[in-house]
Chain A
Amino acid sequence: MAKVTFPRMGESYRTFKMLLEDLGNEVIVPPRPSKRTLDLGVRHAPEFACFPFKILMGTYLETLAMGADTIVTTGGVGPCRAGEYAMLHHRILKDLGHTVRMIVFEPPRLHPFNFIRNVWALNRTRASIKGIITHIKRAWRKLQALDNAEKLSHVVRPREINRGSTTRVYRKVLDWIDQADTTGQIIEAEAAALDAIRSVPQDPARDVLRVGIIGEIYVLLEPASNLEVEEAMGNLGMEVERSMFLTGWTRDNTWNETTAGMTVKDAAAPYLPELVGGHGRDSIGNTVIYARRGFDGMVQLAPFTCIPEIVARTILNQVSKDCHIPVLTFFLDEQTGKAGMATRLEAFADLLRRKRQARPAQMLLPVG
């Protein structure tokens, strides 16, 4: 029987594991990216390939050593280079002497036959079309539950009284959702999980900064690649709102564009009317939107040498000036250290606090 693996991206692996097992595959769960993963990835990946490429390279090598022989991943149509990554990974793995089958999902709207062929290849129980749709729907519900729990943890963490309590509860409730099998159980587990996170002791009077996170999807969604920046920010008293979750992104890129996606595009249009691939335009649009919603600041996360985010960062200087919102950018790679990042985040939090305190005073100043 084929042993299937897939790239790890945050907690979403719980959903994909369930879905692939439902379809009758044996699943090798990719381990959380570690120092070893990175070392493996960096050794075999091209030097200037972006950080996600290196992490995935390492993850694939680790899972292949665990016995996997089929890799399920996503493709793309450019101009971001991530769309070509599956192809290069495959070539490099072949060069290293591994025989592996790659199942690459292209955007179904543009390549419907590729989608059908891939689903058929993964459907080993020979479930009916209706059955497949039910499986996918259930997996989708689980993905939403995971995202909702994460969203809530971002709100609760900066207000917690005992530092680290939210993270502890969040880790625990993830397992509840993970163990839920039917749609009913998933909904139940989600409700219980949200209740548990909400009941973490909080200090409602605390002065909390609201910070938006923008950037490239992989480093946003995989905490191991961004050195748990959301947790670090929460501990510094910043309520984080991430612009991207797997559910929202998948919806925008598979069957239809949501209205949220449209407004981001509209907001970015005066600055960058062109799709530059990846999430460059989203980063700009979201900065404009978050600034209008009264956020205190933005943090941009991007892999080193990420082309779309470099374009976005260049333009963000002006957006930041126009919308009066500070933007802090982290270009992440295997050299990024947690201490350096923490120092920059602390300084950024201080800056935002001072800016917030200065705001009412400025308003009192007589004009002219």
Chain B
Amino acid sequence: MSIKVGIPRALLFYLYYPLWMTFFNEIGVQVITSGRTTREILDNGVREALADACVPIKLFFGHVMDLKDRVNYLFIPRVVCLNRKTVYCPKFLGLPDMIKYSLEGMPPLIDVRMDNRQGYGALLKAYGEVGRQLGVSKAAAYVAYGKAMLAHARYNSLLRQGFSPREALDLLQKPDRKPLRPKDHSLKFAVLGYPYALYDSFISVGLLDKMHKLGVGVVTAENIHPLLLALQRNCDLPKRLFWTFSDALLKAAHLLFKQKKIDGVLHLTAFGCGPDSLTNKFIELEAKKHRNIPFMTITIDEHTGDAGMATRLEAFVDMVRRRKEASLG
């Protein structure tokens, strides 16, 4: 029987799952993920996590609890910095410790520290360490990491083509299927939000699906090439935002506002999100400079209801559509 490693379907899952899955499969370890978010998973998380934590963290706790009895190891790396410039939210930095010290009956954690500010080989070393903990030779781990990087690159290129992570994951698993091009819509919105909130259709209350149903095309920060984002420099601020996701989001907002190819901007934020308190205000101040592109913020938490979300989205989309028709006609 092979070793089973669990990867919770939350937080960094949406960006790094193909990488991690390929890596573990290559070193002969079976990967088990938690199921899609359900009411039960969320409730479990809300019960175990600190009340003041944000929904995505509570959800992570829930997914860990869903997995913990089914696996030999849990993979919760301490991801500090992956681009040599920006770090992740402090909650990510303390994530393995938060899990370790507040949940009971846990399988051993693989909590390798990933920080490539330490040197160019730091990530490679980190994956070598993951391999060592699972009893795999360094060489095998390095080869597996190389293949995983290829999978990651394929996944990223699918995201850049405009697919959402779920579609991209399906395409990766069935590569023979002809990739469906995203449909064209009459309206196009930028939907900005952290991948772990936006792409989890349970806590985002189906935001992306609802947009499609309303006939609105969607651009997210993940669909934009990182080089284009890097060209935004520091968005006229004296310092960049410290956190990788917030930095990308603000740059995406600046870029999309400047390109003027979108009809509206939505910012999805979780209740009590620390980095977003700044990011949201900066985007709002930028939106003020572009009066012709409407901007709306949607806050989600564990109590967000479907009807309320649908009403707000419909009202916003109707408003934008009417404006556009008025300006065209």
Q: Is the CB of B102 within 8 A of A81?
A: no
Q: Is the CB of A81 within 8 A of B94?
A: no
Contacts of A83 in B (CB 8 A): 239, 242
Contacts of A310 in B (CB 8 A): 50, 52-53, 91
Q: Does B277 contact A (CB under 8 A)?
A: yes
Q: Does A115 contact B (CB under 8 A)?
A: no
Q: Is the CB of A88 within 8 A of B274?
A: no
- Complexed CA–CA distance, A277 and B280 (Å): 21
Q: Given the interface contacts A46-B277, A48-B272, A306-B274, does A314 sit within 8 Å of B93 by beta carbon? A: no
Q: Does B123 contact A (CB under 8 A)?
A: no
Contacts of B78 in A (CB 8 A): 274
Q: Is the CB of B274 within 8 A of A272?
A: no
* Nearest CB of B to A315, in Å: 5
Contact with A along B267-290 (1 / 0, CB 8 A): 000011111111011100100100
8 Å CB contact of B243 from A79, A313, A317:
A79
Q: Is the CB of B274 within 8 A of A307?
A: yes
* Nearest CB of A to B151, in Å: 28
Contact with A along B81-98 (1 / 0, CB 8 A): 000000111110110011
Q: Which of A279-313 contact B (CB under 8 A)?
A: 280, 304-308, 310-313
Q: Which of A249-271 contact B (CB under 8 A)?
A: 271
Q: Does B251 contact A (CB under 8 A)?
A: no
Q: Given the interface contacts A271-B97, A314-B102, does A276 sit within 8 Å of B90 by beta carbon? A: yes
Contacts of B102 in A (CB 8 A): 314-315, 317-318
- Complexed CA–CA distance, A276 and B88 (Å): 10
Q: Given the interface contacts A46-B278, A87-B239, A91-B282, does A79 sit within 8 Å of B90 by beta carbon? A: yes
Contacts of B238 in A (CB 8 A): 87, 104
Contacts of A50 in B (CB 8 A): 274, 277
8 Å CB contact of B277 from A47, A104, A317:
A47
- Complexed CA–CA distance, A312 and B272 (Å): 16
Q: Does A275 contact B (CB under 8 A)?
A: yes
B95: nearest chain-A partner, CB-CB: A311
Contact with A along B256-276 (1 / 0, CB 8 A): 000000000000000111111
Q: Which of B100-142 contact A (CB under 8 A)?
A: 101-102, 113
* Nearest CB of A to B242, in Å: 3
Q: Does A49 contact B (CB under 8 A)?
A: yes
8 Å CB contact of B274 from A273, A275, A305:
A305
B284: nearest chain-A partner, CB-CB: A46
Q: Is the CB of B277 within 8 A of A49?
A: yes
Q: Given the interface contacts A79-B242, A91-B282, does A311 sit within 8 Å of B94 by beta carbon? A: yes
Q: Is the CB of A80 within 8 A of B277?
A: no
8 Å CB contact of A81 from B49, B50, B278:
B278
Q: Is the CB of A315 within 8 A of B239?
A: no
* Nearest CB of A to B86, in Å: 8
* Interface size grouping (class) on chain A: 35 or more
Q: Which of B40-60 contact A (CB under 8 A)?
A: 49-50, 52-53
Q: Does B19 contact A (CB under 8 A)?
A: no
Q: Given the interface contacts A81-B274, A272-B97, A317-B102, does A311 sit within 8 Å of B90 by beta carbon? A: yes
Contacts of A92 in B (CB 8 A): 281, 285
Q: Does B241 contact A (CB under 8 A)?
A: yes
Q: Does B191 contact A (CB under 8 A)?
A: no
Count of chain B residues with Cβ under 8 Å from any Cβ of A? 37
Q: Is the CB of A79 within 8 A of B89?
A: yes
Q: Does B80 contact A (CB under 8 A)?
A: yes
- Complexed CA–CA distance, A308 and B243 (Å): 14
Q: Which of A31-77 contact B (CB under 8 A)?
A: 46-50, 53, 75, 77
Q: Does A278 contact B (CB under 8 A)?
A: yes
Q: Is the CB of A79 within 8 A of B93?
A: yes
- Complexed CA–CA distance, A314 and B91 (Å): 10
* Nearest CB of B to A46, in Å: 4
Q: Is the CB of A95 within 8 A of B275?
A: no
B49: nearest chain-A partner, CB-CB: A314
A315: nearest chain-B partner, CB-CB: B101
Q: Does A13 contact B (CB under 8 A)?
A: no
- Complexed CA–CA distance, A47 and B281 (Å): 9
Q: Does B237 contact A (CB under 8 A)?
A: yes
Contact with B along A199-223 (1 / 0, CB 8 A): 0000000000000000000000000
Q: Is the CB of A275 within 8 A of B93?
A: yes
- Complexed CA–CA distance, A359 and B318 (Å): 67
Q: Does A348 contact B (CB under 8 A)?
A: no
- Complexed CA–CA distance, A83 and B275 (Å): 11
- Complexed CA–CA distance, A349 and B91 (Å): 31
Contacts of A245 in B (CB 8 A): none
Q: Does A228 contact B (CB under 8 A)?
A: no
Q: Which of A102-136 contact B (CB under 8 A)?
A: 104
Q: Is the CB of B242 within 8 A of A84?
A: yes
- Complexed CA–CA distance, A88 and B78 (Å): 29
Contacts of B271 in A (CB 8 A): 48
8 Å CB contact of B101 from A53, A278, A314, A331:
A314
Q: Given the interface contacts A95-B285, A276-B90, does A318 sit within 8 Å of B239 by beta carbon? A: no
Contacts of A164 in B (CB 8 A): none
Contacts of A318 in B (CB 8 A): 101-102
Q: Please list 12 pairs of residues, one from A and one from B, whose beta carbons are closer than 8 Å in the complex, sorted by A's number.
A: A49-B278, A49-B281, A78-B243, A79-B90, A83-B242, A87-B237, A91-B285, A92-B285, A272-B97, A311-B94, A315-B102, A317-B102
Question: Which residues of B are interface residues toward A (Cβ below 8 A)?
Answer: 49-50, 52-53, 78, 80, 87-91, 93-94, 97-98, 101-102, 113, 237-239, 241-243, 271-278, 280-282, 285, 288
Q: Top 5 nearest A-B pairs by Cβ distance?
A: A78-B242, A311-B94, A318-B101, A48-B277, A276-B90
Question: Beyond the given A91-B282, A95-B285, A304-B52, could you list 18 further A-B residue pairs with CB under 8 A, ordered by the A residue number?
Answer: A46-B278, A48-B274, A79-B242, A84-B278, A88-B281, A92-B285, A104-B238, A272-B94, A272-B97, A274-B93, A277-B93, A278-B90, A305-B52, A305-B277, A307-B275, A308-B90, A311-B97, A314-B101
